[in-house]
Every structure is written in structure tokens, then in C-alpha cells.
Amino acid sequence: MCLAIPALIKLIEDKEAEAEIGGITRRISLWLTPEAKVGDYVLVHTGYAINILDEEEAKETLRLLLEIAELAEEQS
């Protein structure tokens, strides 16, 4: 029910946007994320962007997890 999926904003018109979700273009609402820009990834829940995804944080998380994986590999 609280499912939200990443979507890439392609075009913004007022409080709505065209966004690409898994290869499909959909109209979404930006009422909850008025600061979203073209090129941002947002989390879309029932047609509304509920947050802007933070690419830097995602990279940092993946870097950390890769370190864990490498360490585990060495130890085994």
C-alpha cells in the first residue's frame, strides 16, 4: 500500500510532471515535492512524487555495502 517507485522527471509543467517509470512515461503530481527539477529521481506513490531521491546518499550507501562485501570475500 505504501509502495513508491523511483521515477525520472523529464518535463515539468506547473505542479505536474512527465516522468519515466520503468521505461513508461507517466504524468505525476509534484504537489508534495515542489522543489523537484528535471533530471531528478523521485519516489512516486499513487501518482504523486513523495520525495526526491538523494543520489549522493545512494552512492555512499552502495560504497559502504561494497566494502562489507569485499571484506566478507577476503575472510572466506
Q: Is 21 in the site for another protein (CB under 8 A)?
A: no
The residue with cell 499513487 is: 46
Q: Is 24 in the site for another protein (CB under 8 A)?
A: no
Q: Is 66 in the site for another protein (CB under 8 A)?
A: yes
How many angstroms separate the CA atoms of 67 and 39, rounded? 29
Query: E strand or H helix at 46, and its extent?
Result: none
Identify the sign of the CA torsion 18, 21, 25, 31.
Answer: negative
Q: Contact with another protein (CB under 8 A): which of 14, 24, 39, 76?
A: 76
Q: Please report, as ranges, the residues that interact with another protein according to CB under 8 A.
A: 1-6, 27, 29, 31-34, 41, 43, 45-48, 50-51, 53-55, 57-62, 65-66, 68-73, 75-76
